[in-house]
Amino acid sequence: MVRLSESFRNIFKIQELKQRIIYTALLLIVVRIGSHVTLPGVDGKVLVEATKNRAGDTLFGLYDLFVGGAFSNAAVFALGIMPYISASIIIQLLGAVIPYFQKLTKEGEEGRKKITQLTRYGTVFISILQAWGMSVQLMSMNAGGVPIVHAAVSPFMFQFSTMIVLTAGTVFVMWLGEQITERGIGNGISLIIFIGIIARFPSALLDEYQLLRSGVRGPIIELIILALMVLIVAGVIMITQATRRIPVQYAKRVVGRKVYGGVTQYIPMRVNTAGVMPIIFAQSLMFIPNTILTFFPDSEFMQSIAGYFQYTSITYSAVYALMIIFFTYFYTAVAFNPKDVAENMQKQGGFIPGIRPGKHTSDFIDNILTKITLPGSFFLAIVAILPGFMMNMGVTSSFASFFGGTSLLIIVGVGLDTLQQIESHLLMRHYDGFMKSGKLKGRRF
């Protein structure tokens, strides 16, 4: 505890790190402000009445969780960063099957810039599509017969202005995320989702307190739920930190009078190499059917299909789990290439004891990676679909969504990644600080 307190104080002793954290905090505040600015033409009071009982709805509930309440507020940042993530998924999938995109991934910095540009174009297109669907949905909603959209506003102008404002809001949020990544601390896109989820924490606690106070749920049941949540948190932290280490022996090389190698190092292979990205990718794609279905609010057939995509349905959970397993393997293959690792190891004179260098080493690493990724992918899938089952058992949607699945994985994953970046800055600057603080301290090392 003392060490943690000291590390926290050291953050403010390092000027660059302090500026990065403050810069990140200010931009995240801007994101939260934009989540409460209502779209032009929408009656805020009627909107609250119309959406207060729709927390469990897939589109107005789970999507709203990712954007920190901006969707239910019909705010200018209602789409959040999700269109950008959807565009990134599509570009990465195209990179696995289309030669043009495969070529871009191998062109270094220029290829990366081109991919980023295409991703931004895709973000704009998806934002326009989702904004259109949201405008249609808002025009069909009412509270006690009173429409959400002011009667004086023409449908065409409302749809047009909503598409412009929401698309501009998404592009602005995307830019904020890029600025956080470049000039702040942590991954900006992930932190924007992280802060949106954290913003729902007070309301989740309040919902549970109201149930406890009204007698709907007893204290013992509440304690059991909290204990279950603690176990889930512990499991998530363990699975995100679990690693399998592969020993690598480096042969001795004599250059002149110096001897190199002759040591054993380890390749750390995480059980959850993909982190929270499979969850975000799968959830982004699961929003697409709901977006399409919002175009047909008066169609009974379309609404019957929408029932299969409700967050608490078995169909939704099954498809969602399979997509998470797929994206876990997909993103692991993108983030960790056994062939490149084997080639770099061979160039440096390293080898795995008992395994031939080259292709045999690559196959060996790939085999281990496949085995350890399988339980990690199943764990991610189970934890992600858990809130749906909890909601069917009577747990409030806000509490179940916050502690039970996607939200928890994102909070733990993004939180640990951000803390690791802060720790890296601390270690680096702490070392420089000792060197600059005087010769007496320098002699201690």
> Does 159 or 415 have the greater pLDDT score?
159
Tell me what pLDDT residue 4 has: 59
Phi-psi region at 439: left, alpha or beta (left = phi > 0; alpha = psi -120 to 50):
alpha
Could you report the per-residue pLDDT of 384-399, keeping only the tens digit for each?
887 777 777 667 666 6
Q: Which CATH class is domain 13-199?
A: mainly alpha
CATH fold group of domain 202-445: Preprotein translocase SecY subunit (1.10.3370)
State the chain's mean pLDDT as an integer: 77
Could you tell me if 233 and 412 are in contact, meaning their C-beta atoms sit under 8 angstroms apart? yes
Lowest mean pLDDT among 256-260, 265-269, 308-312, 365-369: 256-260
Nearest by Cα to 375 from 383, 387, 364: 383
CA atoms of 5 and 25, how far apart (whole Å): 20
Q: Is the pLDDT of residue 418 over 70?
A: yes
CA atoms of 166 and 76, how far apart (whole Å): 5
Could you report the per-residue pLDDT of 21-35, keeping only the tens digit for each?
999 999 999 999 988
Tell me what pLDDT residue 128 has: 93
Tell me what pLDDT residue 176 has: 93
Place of tokens 């169609």: 299
pTM for the whole structure: 0.72
Considering the chain, tell me which residue range(s) the CATH 1.10.3370.10 domain(s) occupy: 13-199, 202-445
The stretch 152-161 carries a mean pLDDT of 86
CA atoms of 327 and 178, how far apart (whole Å): 23
Strands 253-255 and 258-260: antiparallel
CA atoms of 283 and 82, how far apart (whole Å): 9
The stretch 231-257 carries a mean pLDDT of 68
When pLDDT is cut at 50, 70 and 90, the band that residue 61 belongs to is: low
Could you report the per-residue pLDDT of 73-121, keeping only the tens digit for each?
788 888 888 889 888 878 877 877 788 887 887 777 888 889 889 999 9
